[in-house]
Amino acid sequence: MSKETEKKGLGWFKAGRAHEEETESWESIIVEKEIAAAQVEEETAPEEILPQVESANKNVFSKENQDKVSLDLIVAVENLLKDRQLVRIKQSDLAKRLLEANESISRYKQDLEKRDELISEKNKEIQTLENSLTNKQMSYDQLLEDYKEFQQNSNNEYENISNQLETAQDKYDKLNEEFTNSKYEQMRKVNELEERIRSMEIENKKYATQNKQILEEKNELMQTINEFTERMSFSFTSKLNSSNNSSEQE
């Protein structure tokens, strides 16, 4: 910033020197034009003024009835008066021209002053704009630094989130794999249990059939035993009765 400020200061100094040189050149051009105009007017003035002088002094002295010396004196006096009148006219004309030139120079100076004031105002406006531009440039630089910092922080945060997401994705893949394995193992165990249940149902049916058969055989055996017991009891009772009857007869 210091180098830029120094360059701007040198630029303004050069611009000020250029403005002063330009003003001096304008003033010199104006003076040259006034001098040239005065020279032109001085060259043309005697031709215009001389008839007026001659008409004014035409009848100053009468040359009638005069000797040669008197005539020479009259001619010399007339020439002297003409020269004097011409000088006065020239002086009056030069004074008028000088006044007009001074008025022109005054107008030119006023125009130059107005132009200088306008240039000064424009310079102030330019300085204000440069200050505003400098402040905006500083604000832009600050915003640019803030944006770079924000972008850096965003990139770091994005990398952190990406790493966390990658870690979470790895965990999810691992858990999904474990879940798949667990589900497969669970299904395998369920299939084994269902197979065992089916086998046990078949065995239960077989055992039930065997149990039914055993019960039937048991019932048949019990019936046979009961029948045998009844026959034995009847036979024993018959023999006992026979024995008692024999004893009573004796």
Quote the CA–CA distance of 62 and 56 in Å, as a whole number: 14
- Mean pLDDT for the chain? 76
How far from 90 is each of 77, 140, 201, CA to CA, in Å?
A: 19, 71, 155
Find the range with the poorest average confidence among 39-48, 172-181, 183-192, 197-206: 39-48
- Residues 56-83 pLDDT 10s: 444 445 556 667 777 788 788 888 888 8
pLDDT at residue 123 greater than cutoff 90: yes
**Which whole number is the average pLDDT over 152-180?**
91
Identify whether the C-beta of residue 56 lies closer than 8 Å to the C-beta of residue 88: no
Percentage of the chain exceeding pLDDT 70: 67
pTM of the model: 0.36
Q: Which two tokens stand for residue 195?
A: 């197979």
Task: Mark out the alpha helices in the chain (DSSP H runs).
Answer: 2-56, 68-249
In the predicted structure, residue 213 carries a pLDDT above the cut 50: yes
Q: What whole-number distance in Å separates Cα of residue 211 and Cα of residue 55?
A: 180
Provide the pLDDT for residue 37: 46
> Between helices 2-56 and 68-249, what is the axis angle to 10°?
150
pLDDT band at 134 (very low <50, low <70, confident <90, very high): very high
DSSP assignments along 140-165, one per residue = HHHHHHHHHHHHHHHHHHHHHHHHHH
Instruction: Encode pLDDT of 27-55 as tens digits.
Output: 554 455 445 444 544 444 444 444 444 44
